Amino acid sequence: MFRTTRSTVAATGLLLALGLTTGCSTGKEATSADATVAPVSGKISITYLQKQGDQEYFVGEAAGAKAKAAELGVDLKVVNLGNDANKTVSEVQSAVAQKTNGIIIVVPDPAVGPQVVQTAKDGKVALLTSDDQICASGPDPSACAKDDLVARIGFSGA
């Protein structure tokens, strides 16, 4: 029961955060990590790209996201990236080409962060990270300027 609740909470946060980024302005000045996104008309579509999507934690997170997306009337596509950085880049490119409204991503390697950010930005697709942080300007989020960190939702270790 706890896993289902945690998954549902995570999914709700992910979907609502992305919905807010595609539907509202924060009033914050744009930074290099922010992307101007295309307006959404009609049903929202989100692509959720997960590393290690066959592990129990990510299976539960995907199940919660799918349930919440169905409840909210959002089209959600979940993709297991495994540990493949090249697949990460190609799946982001594919999602943009398929005109997804937003991408939520858990990268298997943060070094692909700048390429993921640029691809989403070029495609005017909203981008949110889940669980793991990525940086728009470099491969190491811990060495990244705060303004270059991509918005992230996750759980506190505490």
Question: Domain containing 60 — which CATH number?
Answer: 3.40.50.2300
Q: How many domains does the chain have?
A: 1
* Average pLDDT along the chain: 82
DSSP per-residue codes, the chain: -HHHHHHHHHHHHHHHHHHHHHH----PPP-TT--PPPPP-SS-EEEEEEETTTSHHHHHHHHHHHHHHHHHT-EEEEEEEET-HHHHHHHHHHHHHTT-SEEEEE-S-GGGHHHHHHHHHHTT-EEEEESS--BSSSS-GGGS-GGGBPPEE-----
**Residue 41's pLDDT band (cuts 50, 70, 90):** confident
Q: Is residue 23 predicted with pLDDT exceeding 90?
A: no
**Residue 40's pLDDT band (cuts 50, 70, 90):** confident
Would residue 132 count as lying in a domain?
yes
pLDDT of residue 58: 92
Would residue 65 count as lying in a domain?
yes
φ, ψ for residue 22 (rounded to 5)?
Answer: -90, -20
Would residue 28 count as lying in a domain?
no
Would residue 63 count as lying in a domain?
yes
Over range 114-124, report the average pLDDT: 97
Domain that holds residue 90: 2-22+42-153
Would residue 74 count as lying in a domain?
yes
What does the alpha-carbon distance between residue 33 and residue 148 come to, in Å, rounded to a whole number?
5
pLDDT in tens, 59-74: 999 999 999 999 999 9
Q: Is residue 146 predicted with pLDDT exceeding 50?
A: yes
